[in-house]
């Protein structure tokens, strides 16, 4: 398989490894980008896979909260220009309020909910499309209904977080929501991390070790690998991460001091997981003009 510059670029963006290392990885692994990413990690040349960071679609995360209930709704538009339009923002806020009051649990159920103007969310969406001239989609909904402390936080209109906290107070819940927005931990605590993830990380760490280290007694080797895995688990769990509002202690210590426990959290980022088609308008115009 030909190793193209675009393939090297994609692997580099995904792993953070150098250009030459990425080219070598692709050459060694027949151009398979997934296998190459893992190969780079085993060589100690890349950090965790950045594939999940590839965000494309435009839009906004809208929020509504009242009486222990909170919702986030991801609403997508075709361009960032429309996502910042006051008509789009008004529409997004009305959809979030409809989601909160209706009790809808997903985007499909939300279509039939009533907005303040009297029509349904779906009718309001059609009107917004007609007015703004772009396709508009209501993609995802997250909600929490609880007697516990519930925090809803939206950063820049593009990242939204809901946190449910048992114990503690509203201020701590909001601080944790800000932390999740910034650090994006995949799991709450170590017990939530899948065994397959841990096994794969052990395999990678072992592959990165020198022959001299591998020759050490089994109990010593296990302690070395265990320490590395514990560090990795801390990096991917909310409880193990340094708290963004006080990096001198981790989140678990902050929660323990407050006598609190995180029941769960939900995080939405605009366009998460959607591949964006990059248009080359100059090339398209030339093509249509018969110049290319």
Work out the pLDDT band at 117, boundaries 50, 70, 90: confident
- Residue 1: per-residue pLDDT: 73
The pLDDT tens digits of the residues spanning 222-262 come to 888 889 999 999 999 999 999 999 999 999 999 999 999 99
Contact 96, 62 (CB under 8 A): yes
Longest dimension (CA), the chain: 73
Q: Report percent pLDDT > 90 for the chain.
A: 61
Contact 146, 263 (CB under 8 A): yes
Into which CATH architecture does domain 55-145 fall? 2-Layer Sandwich (3.30)
SS3 content of the chain, % helix, strand, coil (to 5): 50, 20, 30
Q: pTM for this one?
A: 0.75
Residue of 238, 144, 140 lying closest to 186 (CA atoms): 238
Q: Which two tokens stand for residue 108?
A: 């499909």
Helix (H) or strand (E) holding 206: helix 195-208
- Residue 157: per-residue pLDDT: 95
Mean pLDDT confidence for 179-200: 95
The pLDDT tens digits of the residues spanning 161-175 come to 999 999 999 999 999
The pLDDT tens digits of the residues spanning 16-55 come to 788 888 899 999 999 998 888 888 888 877 665 554 444 3
What topology is assigned to 5-52 in CATH? Helicase, Ruva Protein; domain 3 (1.10.8)
Question: Which one has a higher pLDDT value, 44 or 87?
Answer: 87
Q: Degrees (nearest 5) of the Cα angle 246, 250, 254?
A: 75
Tally the residues of the chain.
Answer: 292
For the ranges 50-54, 94-98, 132-136, the maximum mean pLDDT occurs at: 94-98
Where exactly does CATH 3.30.479.20 map onto the chain? 55-145
Residue of 154, 143, 90, 84 lying closest to 116 (CA atoms): 90
Residue 103, Ramachandran bin (φ over 0: left; ψ between -120 and 50: alpha; else beta): left
Where exactly does CATH 1.10.8.10 map onto the chain? 5-52
């Amino acid at each position: 398989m030909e190793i193209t510059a675009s393939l090297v670029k994609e692997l580099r963006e995904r792993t953070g490894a150098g250009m030459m290392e990425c080219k070598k990885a692709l050459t060694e692994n027949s151009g398979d980008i997934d296998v190459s990413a893992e190969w780079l990690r085993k060589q100690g040349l890349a950090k965790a896979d950045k594939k999940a960071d590839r965000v494309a679609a435009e839009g906004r995360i809208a929020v509504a909260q009242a009486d222990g209930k909170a919702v986030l709704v991801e609403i997508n538009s075709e361009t960032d220009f429309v996502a910042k339009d006051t008509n789009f923002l008004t529409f997004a806020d009305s959809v979030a309020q409809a989601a909160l009051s209706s009790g809808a649990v997903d985007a499909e159920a939300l279509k039939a909910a009533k907005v303040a103007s009297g029509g349904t969310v779906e009718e309001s969406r059609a009107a917004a499309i007609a007015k703004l001239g772009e396709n508009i989609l209501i993609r995802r909904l997250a909600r929490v209904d609880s007697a516990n402390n519930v925090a809803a936080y939206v950063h820049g209109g593009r990242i939204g977080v809901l946190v449910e906290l048992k114990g503690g107070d509203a201020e701590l819940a909001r601080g944790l929501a800000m932390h999740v927005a910034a650090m994006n931990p995949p799991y709450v605590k170590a017990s939530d991390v899948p065994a397959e993830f841990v096994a794969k990380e052990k395999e990678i760490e072992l592959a990165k070790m020198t022959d001299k280290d591998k020759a050490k007694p089994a109990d010593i080797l296990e302690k070395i690998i265990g320490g590395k895995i514990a560090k990795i688990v801390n990096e991917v769990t909310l409880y193990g991460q340094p708290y963004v509002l006080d990096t001198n202690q981790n989140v678990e210590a902050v929660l323990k001091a407050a006598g609190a426990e995180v029941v769960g959290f939900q995080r939405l980022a605009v366009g998460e997981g959607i591949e964006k088609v990059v248009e080359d308008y100059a090339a398209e115009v030339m093509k249509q003009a018969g110049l290319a």
